Amino acid sequence: MIAHVHDNINYLKTKKGIMSWLVTVDHKRIGMMYLASILLFFITGGTFAFLFRLELWSPLKDFLTPDQYNQFFTLHGVIMVFLVVVPGIPAALGNFIVPIQIGAKDLAFPKLNLTSLYLYWIGAAVALWSIVAGHADQGWTMYAPYSLSQNPAVLWMMVAAFILGFSSILTGLNFIVTMHTMRAPGMTWYRMPLFLWAMYATGIMQIFATPVLAITLILLLMENFFGIGIFDPALGGDPLLMQHFFWFYSHPAVYIIVVPGFGITSELIAAFAKKDIFGYRFVAYSSVAIAIIGFIVWGHHMFVAGQSELADTIFSFLTFFTAVPSAIKVFNWTATLYKGSIDLKTPMLYALQFLWNFTIGGLTGIILAILSVDIHLHDTYFIVSHFHYVAMGSTMIAFIGGIHYWWPKMTGKMYNESVGKLASIIVFVGFNVTFFVQLIMGSLGSPRRYYHYWDQFQIYHQISTVGVFILAIGLFTALINLIVSLWTGATAPANPWGAKTLEWQTDSPPPLYNFTETPVVTHGPYAFETEKA
């Protein structure tokens, strides 16, 4: 059969030309377009961070005005949160890997998948246009009434968040339906790789949290066009209500950001320790537990905002429960290394630095849940550092580790291993130099979003700025190494790492429909060779 011959051609070569990409419904090509877009926005958002960290070299003006500084941190925050870390791993790697890991030909709704990519592009364009054209500087948190004074920029920002939210919902829905209906024969729930459990938990959060953005947008429109006081105190509205709405979405969004990173880390540690993940079920359930608890802790962002003491106390109590599944995961990953056969390849170096960074990110999160201490630390550099340890040090590091891990599968090329390892070490050093001092500076009382700061904090700012230089060198080394491999890299074998999950049982890159024959699963995802007992 002709179709059969076609099946063996890899997905990159089935059709040629730009249109073959723009109208494709192949999950792999959509994943690659997402990956390219997200990396582009990561570089853009990073450039703004680089520029305002340079400005912070001295306490007074270096080369930006206060308004430019404020716009730069707004652009950095909006791009990194809404265009990079929230969609990041699910949209890029999830799209590519999820169907292959369960042994399916594609996602359940391929056209919906392409729609989500277009919504992402439209949402990104609206978000950037609204900030740049509106000279908006309200930060990614958009607190009323300050943000309302910047209308229509904040209204358009909400429209953008709404469109991007829809893109997220479609991705989450697609993953959940795919996992329920399209698993290969023998692929039971407990034979699913942990990356899939993480994608499932993320999907639940995307579907249930994101609609709140739409409600907020409708309320903002009603306030703006009909003068109904909802958030604006000048109209008799309550600005705290906007914070509740914002965090009701944005707190689960924090877990939408980090849970996919957990999934990747599980895959990397299993593959490079050649061992079954210790306590597979505990790790799988803890992702789901975090997804559920994540919905009822949003008030911990408002401990100094003027909530009642009762609300503060309840939110603090609930928040501490998120620490437990996070601790379980870290201990389980550590235990997996015990008596393994550890190979320190580039992806594994990222997995290990994920453990380092996430332990710091998690521990610094717990202290912020301690009510009395949070009063002091709230809105200082301490919180800035904490969420960068999670969003950048954990999620982005896992993302970059995942890109290295699946790069041979996605492109069919091997990158230079030595350069990859070197870059990963530079990134580790750069990241920690940049952000660890911010913990100290914050607990000493330096507020966030300060253009002008006291002289006593200059040394901390300068160390942090030096760290950004190191981090940038590491990230560009990694990126160039990957891009160069497209031309000069050796051809990748089907399974360069000796991993056991299904994506490694097909060609690199995979054919259009992923497998030439439907795979039959007879064992768990990490059934490595074991010693005779």
Partner 1 sequence: MDNGKTFWLPEKASTFTSIVDPAFDLYLWISVFFFGLIVILITVFTFKYLRRRPDQLATAQITHNLTLELSWTIIPLIIVMALFFVGMKGFLHMRVAPSGYMQVNVKGQKWSWSFEYPAGAVNDTLVVPVNTPVKLAMTSRDVIHSFYIPAFRAKADVLPNRWNAIWFQATRTGVFPVECTQYCGTNHSYMWTAVKVVEPEVYQEWLANASDPGKGKTPEQFGALLYQKRGCNACHSIDGSKGVGPSWKGLYGRQETTNVGMVMVDEAYLKESMMVPTAKIVTGFQPVMPVFQGVLSEREIAALMAYIKSLK
Could you give the 3-state DSSP secondary structure of residue 85?
helix
Stretch of 106-114, 138-146, 466-474, 478-486 lying at the interface with partner 1 (CB under 8 A): 138-146
Helix runs in 56-186, H state only: 66-78, 88-89, 95-101, 110-133, 153-181
Please report how close the Cβ of residue 414 comes to partner 1 at its closest, in angstroms.
16
Q: Give CA 504 to chain center in angstroms.
A: 24
Region of residue 142 (left: phi > 0; alpha: psi -120 to 50; beta: else): left
Query: Which residue in 241, 327, 473, 479 binds partner 1 (CB under 8 A)?
Result: 327
Please report how close the Cβ of residue 345 comes to partner 1 at its closest, in angstroms.
10
Query: Which residue in 70, 202, 266, 485 binds partner 1 (CB under 8 A)?
Result: 70
Which uninterrupted H or E stretch holds 491?
Answer: strand 490-491
What b/e string do you get for 43-61 counting C-beta neighbours within 10 Å, with b at 16 or more? bbbbebbbbbbebbeebee
Please report how close the Cβ of residue 444 comes to partner 1 at its closest, in angstroms.
5
The answer to whether 235 touches 223, Cβ cutoff 8 Å, is yes
Query: Which residue in 309, 455, 491, 523 binds partner 1 (CB under 8 A)?
Result: 309
Angle (nearest 5°) at CA 42 between 37 and 46:
150
Residues 163-202, interacting with partner 1 (CB under 8 A): none
Stretch of 13-21, 187-195, 201-209, 524-532 lying at the interface with partner 1 (CB under 8 A): 524-532
Taking each helix axis as running N to C, give the angle between helix 458-488 and helix 27-55, from 0 to 180 degrees, rounded to the nearest 10.
150
Residues 84-103, interacting with partner 1 (CB under 8 A): none
How big is the site for partner 1, counted in residues (CB under 8 A)? 91
Does the protein bind partner 1 through residue 61 (CB under 8 A)? no
Does the protein bind partner 1 through residue 516 (CB under 8 A)? no
Closest to partner 1 by CB, 140 or 399? 140
Does the protein bind partner 1 through residue 296 (CB under 8 A)? no
Please report how close the Cβ of residue 340 comes to partner 1 at its closest, in angstroms.
5
Does the protein bind partner 1 through residue 531 (CB under 8 A)? yes
Residues 444-463, interacting with partner 1 (CB under 8 A): 444-445, 447-454
Stretch of 35-43, 159-167, 368-376, 513-521 lying at the interface with partner 1 (CB under 8 A): 368-376
Query: Which residue in 66, 152, 186, 493 binds partner 1 (CB under 8 A)?
Result: 66
The answer to whether 388 touches 364, Cβ cutoff 8 Å, is no
User: CA-to-CA distance for 251 and 295, rounded, in angstroms?
Assistant: 7
Residue-wise DSSP of 26-49: -HHHHHHHHHHHHHHHHHHHHHHH
Residues 385-444, interacting with partner 1 (CB under 8 A): 440, 443-444
Does the protein bind partner 1 through residue 498 (CB under 8 A)? yes
Omega before 145 within 30 of 0, i.e. cis: yes
